[in-house]
Amino acid sequence: MSYLPLMLNMDRMPVTVVGGGSIALKKINILMEYKPSITVISETFDEEFKKLNVKKIAMQINRETDMAPFISRSKLVVIATNSNEINDLVENYCKKIDVLYNRVDRKESTVIFPALLKMDSITVAVSTSGSLPGFSKFLRDQIKTSLKDYISAFDLLKKIRDGMPADSYSKRYSFFEKLLSNSDFWLLVKNENFEKAEDFAKELWEAMK
């Protein structure tokens, strides 16, 4: 199965999580940063769920009709119980009504959770397509170490970009290719000489006119 990496606007998106254990909790904590509307269905809930601002419905799922009122209104379903039978039931219903789902105990899902790294306005997602989530997390941590050297340039680059003509897309693209591959520019950033780095960028832009 091939996956197309996307970033979705999940603000107020209806999401149903089936399961009230520690794995479901981890998924919910990831999702909450993107502000969806989360409903959690489970027969029991771990103690930590009391701290979550989500809708909790205590119920046992034995058949499609038990979950249908909730899942049919959802855009995404996270399947995270410790019962293969229940997980199968929920997954099959999601397939039946064509709802995106993530099943935590199998990699064959329509949605996967990559290892995310967020630093300021930068988000990096690392995925092994669900095969080795531990390796995804390891790679994310390795990237984090390198990213620190570049993250300080974000505000400067955005300032430079915002000051450029709106109709200069092709030229802007070439400009940033040259600027971001220039070791002198990054040396100035690394040494926190941001004014000189900005002057360097302006000179490069002028030279391309």
Q: How many domains does the chain have?
A: 2
Distance CA 87, CA 57 (A): 17
Question: Mapping DSSP to helix (H, G, I), strand (E, B) and coil, where does residue 46 land?
Answer: coil
pLDDT of residue 48: 94
Distance CA 143, CA 172 (A): 27
pLDDT of residue 5: 61
Task: For the chain of 209 residues, list the mean pLDDT of each consecutive stretch of 10.
Answer: 69 96 95 93 95 94 93 96 96 96 90 80 79 84 80 90 86 94 93 94 90
pLDDT of residue 95: 96
pLDDT of residue 2: 57
In DSSP terms, 123 is beta-bridged to 118
**Residue that terminates a domain, selected from 56, 87, 113:** 113
* 108 and 164 together in one domain: no
CATH of the domain at 77: 3.40.50.720
pLDDT of residue 141: 85
Domain ranges, residue 203: 154-207
Distance CA 156, CA 170 (A): 20
* 86 and 32 together in one domain: yes
CA 92 from centre of chain: 25
In a domain, 35, yes or no: yes
